[in-house]
Chain A
Amino acid sequence: MATPLSARMPAGGGAASFAGYRAAGGYLGLARARELGAPAVQEAVKASGLRGRGGAGFPTAMKWAAVPPPDGGERYLVVNADEKEPGTMKDRYLMEGDPHQLIEGLAIAATAIGAGTAFIYLRREYTRCALELEKAVGEARVAGLLEGLRLHLHLGAGRYLCGEETGLLNAIEGKRAVPRNKPPFPQVSGLWGRPTVVNNVETLCNLPHIMREGPEWFKALSASSDGGTKIYGASGWVASPGLWELPLGVSAGEVLERAGGMHPGRALRAFLPGGASTDFLPASKLDVKMDFDSVAAAGSRLGTGTMVVLDDRTCPVGMVLSLERFFARESCGWCTPCREGLPWVRRSLEALESGEGEMGDIEILEHHARSLVPGRTFCALAPGAMEPLASALKLFREDFEDHVARKGCRYK
């Protein structure tokens, strides 16, 4: 089984070296991309079926294609390395383990859209990544691999909303990291009002391999109609939490198998398939294929592909509260439903957990789960926050009601 994204990572930890990366064919993809030129690179990526790995699964080539033709002015590529979704650490794994893969990938993307400047917007807490990336950028630069590309490593000041692509752009500009309305899309009016593409780390890491091995090879890696492999993860009460590169479209059960199954004495009750802002799927759905369309058909989202499991000895209300505390804190305060709704959700869940809950609180939670949906809020944060809540209210309704009846949590 091919694992192009993680193949070069040293078994004992640490990062793949520059020499090692080059020996394994590194930067040949970039050379090929530069040789082919932008239209051909876009064509190849389109043929590969690569979909964005940041969570939304938007076809990468389609995102690039929305960039208007060159007008002589600046255009930007921005790497979204602001990985903050609870339960997700796949980008960190890629950057710490093989930084050159990202640098080559971003250089290819810059070639594809004709960007002369690239920013890596990195989560500040990822200090190892920063060190590895800085070193790798230096090596690539000295080797003359980054000619024609101004590359800046930017450390964020730490907000979940900086991971939203337009909030991220505002953050780079030194403005408040609130999202922007679309249209205009960043491809038309992005950084400082110029054409900009924001791509996720994992998305970009696929590009060297697509360019080197070809779109057909890439498509064949996958167990689904979308191309490539995926860094899957599992956390929660599994036997050994971790990250694994597997063909896109393996089943959730296979991912859980990689984690050695559940922790002894714990049984699987449900799981968030793609990180904190995806709907719970019940244990009965372990056979769902972990690709964008299949997870969506099952009623959730592939998201970042890093599942969080709920076991039978953990309170689902408490788990949802922990998530909603995060989302309520990370609301940027721009739009009313998110700014005022999420804290209300948090307080209602706190009341339930602490034994002060009322049946009315469950109604309030349901009201929010119905109301904070795409189109009604300004960006996707609140709808994402509602996914685990809405599904928990459906799957674990008796647990919520039990908190009211018992005036407390039976798991404590």
Chain B
Amino acid sequence: MSVANIIVDGKPYSIEGAESKNLLEACLSLGLDLPYFCWHPAMHSVGACRQCGVKLYKDEADARGRIAMACMTPVVNGLRASIEDPEARAFRAGIIEWLMVNHPHDCPICDEGGECHLQDMTVMTGHVRRRYRFEKRTHRSQDLGPFVAHEMNRCIQCYRCVRFYRDYAGGKDLDVQGWHDSVFFGRTEDGALESQFSGNLCEVCPTGVFTDKVQASRPTRKWDLRTSPSVCPHCAVGCSTLPGERYGELRRVRPRYNADVNGCFLCDRGRFGQAFADSGDRLRHCLVKEAGGQVPAPREAAIAAARAALSKPGAIGIGSPRASLETNFALRSLVGADRFFVAISDGELALHRLMRDVLRAAGRRVASPREAELSDAVLVLGEDVWNGAPILALRLRQASRNAPNETAMREKRIPAWDDAALREAVQDRPGPFFVASPGPGPLDECAEASYRAAPDDIARLGYAVAAFIDPTCPAPEGMGEEREALARRIASALMRAKRPLVVSGSGLASAALVGAAAAVLSALVAAGQDARICLVFPEANSLGAAMLAAGGLESAARLLAGAPEPAALVVAEADLSRAAVRGDGPSLMALAVATIVLDHSPSATSREADLVLPAATLLEGSGTFLSFEGRAQRFIALRPCEFPVQDGWRTLDELAAPGREPRSLDGILAAIASELPELAAIVDAAPPSTFRMLGKKIPRGARRESGRTSMHANLDPRDPDPRLDPDSGLAYSMEGAIAAPPSLLSRYWAPGWNSDQSLHKFQSEVGGALRPSAAGEGAEIGARIFGGETGRAALRELAFGGAGAGAPGIPAAFARRGDALLVLPRRFAFGSEELSAKSPALATRIPEPRLFICPPDAARLGLTEGASAEIRFEGADSVPQVLRVAISDLPEGVAELPWGLPALPGAPLASWAAVRPSKEAAR
């Protein structure tokens, strides 16, 4: 890293890592205010808007200087610049004047108003008077679907939307059209934006062209939103979120900057999925089953009934991969560790435990999403990262350019921040990036080579790669020349790389794939490579649940069936009917003497329960999720619970210890840490509830929040006392500390920077980690539980099995089984995840369920696109399903069935099935 000494407005500064910075980034990192539009911390410079013009001077003697764009100026030793030079200031005000020529100035009715980068920059430059006296150009805006509203007349043509949507996120259906002063950013016709990252346009756009359509249904200014640091519950990546509420209603979800996990962005499932928490059918009362069905009951009565049911010995608990560690742990404490199960099948749990063991052995080589993005060679083994872990996929998409970018930077001396020049030099030539999966996906376009095969064959490819890297590893036999050549090519690419990465996960329900990923990692480590691994779990807390549970649903049913006398069943935040087992869900409830369900949203399970206790969602409750990389991250309640709803863990703790006050979050966390030492780090995921900044709590509200004394005046004219938050260092108030540590940061705002672009005021440097607070908290958000030295022997044992532990070892080549097809689960960005599917906006994007089969199989079975097919799973006594057929590019003998869609919940994972044409209409 080179250090450059530069002078800005007469003051000397020392810039570290100067070779990778431009002057704009350096100035912002120094805390200097310099306006910009087309530059973006994640997408860097193109020099289009000309807003960041500064004066540059050749040397000390140069008094005249010249105007140059800071974003296109490399930081070199001896650089002399002036931001405050009058000519430079006038130039920047002139740029705003030009941008304002056509801008409609409709701030009062614009959803961006009050957090608009264009407003901020306008004020910053001092441009105040419109001299333009002619007509403005206008555009017709488009309907871009349920997520994003479009108002093209506000556009200032910074090109960030298309640079994000197309270049950064790989979208195809948004583009720039037109010419001269009539440049249009939109689709060729009205229609929902196809990219699952479309919501990011709301922040990427510096003004109100792209705004949050869901928020627009109940418009709220940023300063009127109460916000709290939260974690996305819709996949295992664990993106940091910043939900905002007003009048107790969720108004929007925005990404919360987390350098290690999601950076600046969030996927649409995360952004638009949380409306489930405000669904009209939320469980808000205690329900007791009576002859005529469930009826509301007073909380005391319900708790008493629960205690009565639990007073008999042998009760078992079913926890959930979507519930917090605290709730799962509280249930485990209530029923006992050996009677605590998780609402997934035994097989799935075994796979998750194998993944946990691999991560544990990998230690510090478990990649965070940021580390994944820094990789310069990637092998994806089977996992559909795009749909299962979207932000990780977005990070991998950037990783695919690292190696070619580095070559271009070296050979053509292009700076790292010169985005357009790097893309030109690299073109679409992908780096060493390999995708092995049954079907095609959007990451294929990043790949140097894609390999289409059944899970076992993908695993064999992985094992073959491992054997080429480390000849002491056993190699699969009978690979064939072509596959062997591919394996050798992948192996040598991973070996040439500085930071190779292998990615797999539970998506295809294949232990062999996880074993193969472990084999590749162990081989790379043995070869001395600084390798990393990512294993994708399906849900927000799948890893956490796997660390606590004694077994899956089949084990639970066995225990319950074998109990000397009928016992109660307690289900926390799970719908048993969604689990990938046939028949066991209902039968488990039939085996129990009583079923108590704690949940926030109704499900097939809650509707059958004898007793329902309403639980908080993550918007009213606090807790911790363990992400796929073992990062414990705290979500902190956005709004207080309304009686009788309360945190699941609090209710369970109340049931566990009658007569004693339920423990606070800190108390539960301490209990987890002492009982499960491996999870001890979760205590440090965020500061405790006693945390104060200079004696003050951190406010959820903005200092200029309006209506505090009037918003409930129709109910009670008195100014209500602020609700208390016993579980965090945040207050339900607009008053309190003005700074916060990274994991408690509840809003981005700085004087003159009302929009989220104020982020750089909170970073140690542009694009870097958040600045630690004076209170001495770390810069990292959350705490990782894996991080020790890599256990190579353990990894290898897990990879090659034996001794009953670990993966099954190298599988035999995939062979078709007569006429049957191997039906694999296909996950969709919209619909496969249970909670987000309840969000009204997102529900409109859920695809129709289809059976995906390849053309030869379709021909053999007499099926065509759109035809009805009957699917009968082997060994399942359930009724066959009838679905329409979609022809897809899959290996022969392999079919895919959507997993988890509301219309098709709970299909077996990776099972053989007989498929034949059906006369019945598909549902």
Contact = CB atoms under 8 A, between A and B. Distances in A.
Interface of A: 159, 176, 180-181, 183-184, 188-189, 192-193, 328-337, 339-344, 347, 351, 360, 364, 367, 371, 375-378
B95 interface: yes
B421 A184 contact: yes
A184 B414 contact: yes
Contact of A340 (B46, B68, B99, B413): B99
Contacts of B7: none
Interface stretch (B218-226, B423-431, B462-470, B651-659): B423-431
Contact of B98 (A176, A189, A341, A347): A341
Contacts of A364: 131
Nearest to B156: A336
B interface, over-half SS: mixed
Interface of B: 46-51, 53, 66-68, 72, 91, 94-95, 98-99, 101-102, 131-134, 137, 156-157, 159, 176, 178-183, 408, 412-414, 418, 420-421, 424-427
Contacts of A181: 46-47, 72, 418, 420-421
A328 B181 contact: yes
Contact of A332 (B46, B180, B414, B427): B180
B413 A183 contact: yes
Contacts of A328: 180-181
Contact of B94 (A180, A333, A371): A371
A96 to B, nearest CB: 29
B99 A336 contact: yes
Contacts of A377: 50
Which has the most chain B C-beta neighbours within 10 Å: A180, A193, A342? A193
B427 A192 contact: yes
Given A336-B157, A339-B157, A378 B427 contact: no
A176 B157 CA distance: 15
A51 B178 CA distance: 35
Contacts of B182: 333
A330 B179 CA distance: 8
A337 B50 contact: yes
B99 A331 contact: no
A193 B180 contact: no
A379 to B, nearest CB: 10
Contact of A336 (B48, B67, B178, B179): B48
18 contacts: A159-B179, A181-B72, A183-B413, A189-B421, A189-B425, A193-B426, A332-B179, A335-B47, A336-B49, A336-B95, A337-B50, A339-B98, A342-B181, A343-B137, A343-B181, A344-B132, A360-B133, A375-B67
A371 B180 contact: no
A77 to B, nearest CB: 18
B66 A375 contact: yes
Contacts of A376: 50, 53, 67, 91
- Which of B47, B72, B102 is the most central at the interface, judged by chain A CB atoms within 10 Å of its CB? B47
A335 B49 contact: yes
Contact of A378 (B47, B95, B183): B47
B426 to A, nearest CB: 7
Nearest to B424: A193
Nearest to A169: B424
Nearest to A333: B183
List 4 A-B pairs, minimum CB-CB distance, nearest first.
A340-B98, A193-B425, A333-B183, A347-B134
A347 B420 CA distance: 32
Contact of A180 (B176, B412, B421): B421
Contacts of A329: 180
A189 B429 CA distance: 14
B762 to A, nearest CB: 28
Contact of A339 (B131, B183, B426, B427): B183
Nearest to A340: B98
A183 to B, nearest CB: 7
A331 B48 CA distance: 13
A333 B157 contact: yes
A332 B137 CA distance: 16
Given A193-B425, A328-B181, A332-B180, 8 more contacts: A180-B421, A183-B414, A189-B408, A189-B425, A333-B179, A334-B48, A343-B181, A376-B53
Given A336-B48, A351-B134, A180 B413 contact: no
A183 B180 CA distance: 24
A360 B67 contact: no
Name which of B48, B68, B181, B418 has the most chain A CB atoms within 10 A of its CB.
B181
Contacts of B99: 336, 340
Nearest to A178: B48
A184 B413 contact: yes
A332 B102 CA distance: 17
Given A351-B134, A375-B67, A378-B50, A333 B178 contact: yes
A256 to B, nearest CB: 34
Nearest to B182: A333
B424 A180 contact: yes
B126 to A, nearest CB: 16
Nearest to B68: A375
A345 to B, nearest CB: 11
B408 A193 contact: yes
A327 to B, nearest CB: 9
B50 A335 contact: yes
Nearest to A377: B50
A333 B131 contact: no
A364 B97 CA distance: 12
Q: A331, A336, A377 — which one has the most chain B CB atoms within 10 A of its CB?
A: A336
A336 B51 contact: yes
Contacts of B181: 328, 331, 333, 339-340, 342-343
A377 B48 CA distance: 9
B412 A188 contact: yes
Nearest to B66: A375
Contacts of A343: 101, 137, 180-181
A371 B97 CA distance: 12
Contacts of B101: 340, 343-344
Nearest to A363: B131
A367 B132 CA distance: 12
A347 B159 CA distance: 25
A313 to B, nearest CB: 29
A371 to B, nearest CB: 6
Nearest to A339: B181
Given A159-B179, A330-B180, A184 B425 contact: yes
Contacts of B412: 184, 188-189, 193
A328 B179 CA distance: 10
Contacts of A336: 48-51, 95, 98-99, 156-157
Contacts of A337: 50, 94-95, 98
Q: Which residue of B50, B414, B424 has the most chain A CB atoms within 10 A of its CB atom?
A: B424
Nearest to A367: B94
Given A336-B48, A378-B47, A331 B180 contact: yes
A107 to B, nearest CB: 27
A176 B181 CA distance: 15
A146 B412 CA distance: 30
B102 to A, nearest CB: 7
Contacts of B176: 176
Residue of A328, A329, A333 most packed against chain B (CB within 10 A) = A333
B103 to A, nearest CB: 10
Contacts of B133: 360
Nearest to A347: B134
Nearest to B137: A343
Nearest to B183: A333
B22 to A, nearest CB: 12
Contacts of B66: 375
A387 to B, nearest CB: 18
Contacts of A193: 408, 412, 424-427
B131 A360 contact: yes
Contacts of B102: 340
B351 to A, nearest CB: 43
A334 B414 CA distance: 21
Contacts of A330: 180
Contacts of A375: 66-68
